[in-house]
Amino acid sequence: MNCELSKRIAVYCASSTKIHPDFFAAARAIGEGLARRGIGLINGAGHMGLMGASSDACLAAGGEVTGVIPTFMVEQNWHHTGLTRLVETRDMHERKQTIADLSDGCIALPGGCGTLEELMEVITWKQLGLYLKPIVILNTRNYYDPMLQQLQRGIDEHFLGPRHASIWQVAQTPDEAIDLVLNTPLWDPSIRKFAAI
């Protein structure tokens, strides 16, 4: 493993294979773009779908990929066997915490329930001041529009405060997503005072 990497970025994304080619193109661009900038990629270690595509593109471009996966998934042979580093965890909860701990920020690509759950949990952690790193949503094919509308509805209805809208950043292209995750400042830990609105 290259210990000289300046940063490692978590990429949340789907393992589904029956999705539009644009999603695969974006995942490959994220993997290649991180490698090109000397940034390590961290993900859930799956070998299929956008997870596999981003990992393969990063590795092909000379990058480093760390996969974090529960032992029960390894036992099902769901893991990518060609990653730079594979970290096994006891369960899904430890997996999410480990990915957050090892990374310097996260990019959420489109995905299903697992991706949405990871994204919403890390947003919640940031609202509570438990996670201070950048969170970027890559809105390929406007996939996240309904969720972003729901979050805005939460602000409008005072379930979230206006300041919470800056917890996440939204990108339309892979390059913009990488720029945002590298250049967004750390969240102010004093935000914890405003978690309850």
Domain ranges of the chain: 7-186
Q: How distant, in Å, are the alpha carbons of 70, 122, 127, 180, 185 from that of 168?
A: 27, 10, 10, 10, 11
Residues (pLDDT < 70) of the chain are: 1-4, 191-197
158-165 CB contacts, 8 Å cutoff, 24+ apart: 158/197, 159/197, 160/127, 160/197, 161/194, 161/197, 163/191, 163/194, 164/127
What integer pLDDT is reported at residue 190 of this predicted model? 77
Whole-angstrom Cα distance, residue 27 to residue 10?
13
- Residue 86's SS3 state is strand
Q: Give the tens place of pLDDT for each residue, 2-41.
A: 445 789 999 999 999 999 999 999 999 999 999 999 999 9
Yes or no: say if 138 and 171 are a contact pair by the CB < 8 Å rule. Answer: yes
What integer pLDDT is reported at residue 53 of this predicted model? 98
List beta partners, residue 11: 107
Domain 7-186 has CATH 3.40.50.450: yes
| Residue 190, both tokens | 């004093």
What integer pLDDT is reported at residue 193 of this predicted model? 67
* Sign of the dihedral through C-alpha 38, 42, 45, 49: negative
